Structure 1
């Protein structure tokens, strides 16, 4: 069953929409909070369509991602108590509490240690929104948090946009060819993370 290739082709059509930039900003904002579709799926086609604006597009995605990350931080900080019963019913609460306690110790000892953890999180194939919520739960100071989001998100979107700008149509051809495999690999990874959190202690 093909799922991600049609989504990618739809994103290609969005990239030439007159309001492509606001759509990219909105997608980047919502994805940083909860939405599962990464903004890169739209950023790439937009850079291919208008390569001279690659830095502008990357900046829009980064700025709105950071704004969304701040909302995720606030939700983690203020709404975690409300969702604890749900997490407990899923069997995740004990593990989450342990990880939160560990990060709390790190953040208390040195806020900039938490900064480096969050920067490195940007290199992992785990949705960054998990770390934004966790940062809010723990209460990581805002300055290291915002700095880590700027670096973590910035390096992703600028590297992608820059590489596509340099590679041009060859990058689009490769992405178009492998997008289905990439998409299902990410889904499989997310399922493995969920199974690990629920059944492995």
Structure 2
């Protein structure tokens, strides 16, 4: 961590990138340290962290595709792995969004996505939403409140992330409901058409 901090902006970029690959400590810590030193650059630092994370995401995904099960078994307990796999299999998008802006190391979600062969473009899209929310929320606090934000992050950021989580979760849930409604309507219409066609084929009087 000290080595990465001494590298400044480059260190944050590297930290954010390897946070999505294999590093166990979230890049949030590097972002806070550098933002405390230069609050006026907080938005720029958030951008650096965000870009680093997005670049690292497909690399973590590739590790998951290649040997993810072995890697994850070394990184977490079996019960955690099983629970995460079950959650991801059932609610892939939600799992990525939640993992993207919580303190949970993001690499778990990138590697698990590769293990389960989740579409890479979806992983990057949802990761971008979640990680942008997290990096820019922290950057915004430091930009507005300066060094005082360091003491606010633990408390204020929790509420900001909770609010964003509810908002994103609500949007995700609404989209899912609309998709299910459309699928049911399409299925009902297809069934109606099929029944009509069968009725038309039956000779009169039968």
Q: TM-score, normalised by structure 2?
A: 0.61
Match of 1:76 in 2: 64
What's the CA shift for 1:101? 6.2
Distance 1:40 1:171 in 2: 13
Q: TM-score, normalised by structure 1?
A: 0.63
Aligned residues: 153
1:54 matched to 2:69: no
Pick closer, same or farther for the CA change 1:171–1:87 going to 2, 3 Å: closer
1:34 matched to 2:22: yes
Match of 1:148 in 2: 126
| 1:114-169 Cα distance to aligned partner (Å, 9 max, x none) | 22331122344422211111111111112211011111111111101111222212
Matches within 5 A, 1:1-201: 10=2, 14=5, 19-80=7-68, 83=70, 87=73, 92=78, 96=81, 100=85, 103-104=88-89, 106=90, 114-172=92-150, 174=151
State the SS of the aligned residue for 1:168. Answer: helix
Residues 100, 137 of structure 1: 8 Å contact kept: no
| 1:82-106 Cα distance to aligned partner (Å, 9 max, x none) | x28x939x972x87467546644x4
Higher CA-based Rg:
2
Pick closer, same or farther for the CA change 1:130–1:160 going to 2, 3 Å: same
Pick closer, same or farther for the CA change 1:102–1:65 going to 2, 3 Å: closer
What's the CA shift for 1:175? 7.0
What's the CA shift for 1:59? 1.0
Pick closer, same or farther for the CA change 1:163–1:91 going to 2, 3 Å: closer
Point out 4+ residue stretches in structure 1 off by more than 6 angstroms.
none
**Higher relative contact order by CA 8 Å / sep ≥ 6: 1 or 2?**
1
